[in-house]
Structure 1
Amino acid sequence: MNTLQAFLIALIEGITEYLPVSSTAHMVFVSSYFGIQEDDFVKLFQVSIQFGAILAVVALYWKKFFDFSKFNFYVKLICAVIPALVLGKLFDDKIEAVLGDPIPIAIVLILGGIILLFIDNRFQNPTIVKEEDITIKKAVVIGFWQCLAMMPGTSRSAASIIGGMQQGLTRHVAAEFSFFLAVPTMMAVTCYSVFLKTYESSQMKGYELILKSNENIQLFLIGNVVAFIVAVLAIKFFIEIIKKYGFKPWGWYRIIVGLFLLTYFSYYK
């Protein structure tokens, strides 16, 4: 993987991580189209640049994350992230195996798009208009919804937002809580991938792969910086879109992209 390829993957990660469109599906296509060899470092890179996207949420909502007087906010996030931590650990190998087959990812992308076309009409009477009104019980339920995203192509953002709306949150509050929940979720995944996971081919830890060469260190830094900058812009854009138009535009986008990827991987690979 060269610098331009790393830049493109980070660009895709930053744009799509917080949108309900599946960052995984987009990165799989970009990697395939540009012939990026999927070695251990590339696998690590695709996960580790989530750190930049995490910082984007913290930077935009820094008052929320650093208001230590609101202890209940942290409790809700911790409780909501537990399902993903437990199930993610149990199914890590199976998830990685699915990543090698883009056809199921494209199909899930399409199915998720169909759901988004009708999601606004399904939940028309929200009762929770601010984050403070989200109970710990509701936060945990949203956390279980988030686990649906373990199937690549689902979109962590889409799953947790739909879960939030099912629990009575307005789509704006559901989107913001999805952003908040992403921070501990993605931080846990990133830390596991970098510090704890041993990669099969190289038998090295993630941080060992990063420190293996100056080039790997440079790509890691570039990827996180790009993902951070682009994610900040994407989050602002997404909030404005759902305020004005809801989720239908994202539903149509997922269907179109999913059909394109299904065609591409079925006939050209």
Structure 2
Amino acid sequence: MDIVLLMKAAVMGVVEGLTEFLPVSSTGHLIVTGTLLGFDDDRAKVFDIAIQTGAIFAVIIYYWQKIRQTLVGLPSQRQAQRFALNVLIGFLPAAVIGLLAYKTIKAHLFNPGVVAGAFIVGALIILWVEKVAKPVPRIQSVDDMSALDALKVGFVQCLGMIPGTSRSGATIIGGMLLGLSRRAATEFSFYLAIPTLIGAGAYSLYKERALLSVADIPLFAVGLVVSFIAAWLCIRWLLRYIATHTFVGFAWYRIAFGLVVLATAWSGLVNWSA
């Protein structure tokens, strides 16, 4: 396996791990990075989705105690059953809408206008939500959520299918708007990511399996491992960050990145059509 290609895979893994759970759109960052590295062919696009699994393993490891308690308690504990059901309910809208709209999104929404617009509009929404958010949220913990709360967040998560929106941004900010505390919204976004991103990765690998071969295993392995490490560090940092900070800084970053999208598209540096 080409060492340069493995280094590119490692860089992409870092970008995926650092941006997957921040409200900044991992897809947008992977498109820019992949183009600059010359790692943007059809196989690379499958790679981008597949290495999300590494980031998800970081969530599983970080929250293993909660996940384990839930699995053990499913047969008899009402709280465990309620939590697991809420995650399932939150996941269903993305599963259904994603399957139905996958081709349409890929064909019509991957263009610089949509991506830049999503970055900037998303930033304005973050600024607005931070301004109107109640000092004492209705829901302080993910265990306090109802099935209806989970369903609402699940539908909000679907907005993350629009390139440049950010799945985590949609669920976290949407959750806050629906009455979740900053930490509860962030943690539920993490939990929702487990079935959502594993499902998306498996579906992509199945659909594009003809593009892959056994020789690609080292490439994907490097991306998965690096994205896992980067995501684990990012999760730890983000949970500490939100304890004393708002998401306003991310909003201004999104505006700047939206302008980068327009500049790179206008100059022809980055192809935002795929």
Residue identity in the other structure for 1:240:
R
Task: Give the superposition deviation at 1:189.
Answer: 0.8
Distance 2:52 2:45 in 1: 12
**Matching residue of 2:191:** 180
The 1:37–1:80 alpha-carbon spacing in structure 2 relative to 1, beyond 3 Å, is: closer
**Matching residue of 1:9:** 12
Distance 1:98 1:27 in 2: 19
Query: How many percent of aligned residue pairs carry the same amino acid?
Result: 39
The 1:121–1:92 alpha-carbon spacing in structure 2 relative to 1, beyond 3 Å, is: same
**Matching residue of 1:27:** 30
Q: Which of these residues, 63, 66, 85, is aligned with residue 65 of structure 2?
A: 63
Distance 2:108 2:26 in 1: 15
Q: Structure 1 regions of 5+ residues with no counterpart?
A: 200-204
User: Is the contact between residue 31 and residue 40 of structure 2 (CA under 8 Å) also seen in structure 1?
Assistant: no
Counterpart secondary structure, 2:180: coil
Distance 2:23 2:201 in 1: 20
User: Is the contact between residue 110 and residue 163 of structure 2 (CA under 8 Å) also seen in structure 1?
Assistant: no
Distance 1:238 1:85 in 2: 26
**Matching residue of 1:264:** 264
Task: Give the superposition deviation at 1:87.
Answer: 0.4
Task: Give the superposition deviation at 1:100.
Answer: 4.6
Residue identity in the other structure for 1:220:
F
**Matching residue of 2:146:** 135
Matched, 1:116 2:126: yes
1:153-205: per-residue Cα shift (whole Å, max 9, x none)?
Answer: 0000011112211221101110011001110111111121123x2x3xxxxx2
User: Is the contact between residue 89 and residue 147 of structure 2 (CA under 8 Å) also seen in structure 1?
Assistant: yes
**Matching residue of 1:78:** 88
Q: Structure 2 regions of 5+ residues with no counterpart?
A: 74-79, 270-274
Residue identity in the other structure for 2:104:
K
Matched, 1:52 2:46: no
Distance 1:2 1:185 in 2: 28
Count of residues in Structure 1 that have an aligned counterpart in Structure 2? 257
Distance 1:164 1:224 in 2: 28
1:78-125: per-residue Cα shift (whole Å, max 9, x none)?
Answer: 111000000000111122224652342122112211221222122224
Counterpart secondary structure, 1:180: helix
Matched, 1:240 2:243: no
Distance 1:160 1:121 in 2: 17
TM-score by length of 1: 0.91
Counterpart secondary structure, 1:64: helix
1:41-84: per-residue Cα shift (whole Å, max 9, x none)?
Answer: 21110100011011000100001111121122111111110000
Dislocated runs of 4+, deviation >4 Å: none
Please provide the CA RMSD for this pair.
1.6
